[in-house]
Amino acid sequence: MNHDDRRTAGFKQRTRLSDAREELLAAATPHDRTVRRPLAEADGR
């Protein structure tokens, strides 16, 4: 595989924020303490 970082850098597949949140929540293992962190779109994407 030949990789040109200038052309291949970054995300190749875009995901809606709501879909990403659901996927993260489904994959996370619950524990006794809860810390809420806001999710936001990345700048310039």
- pLDDT tens, the chain, 45 aa long: 555 666 666 667 788 889 989 998 899 887 778 888 888 887 765
**What pLDDT score was predicted for residue 8?**
64
pLDDT at position 7: 64
Query: How much is the pTM?
Result: 0.40
The answer to whether 38 and 4 are in contact (CB under 8 A) is: no
Closest CA to 25 of 41, 13, 37, 43: 37
Is 17:41 a contact under the CB 8 Å cutoff? yes
**What is the Rg, in whole angstroms, of the alpha carbon atoms belonging to the chain?**
15
Report the pLDDT value the prediction gives residue 22, as an integer from 0 to 100: 92
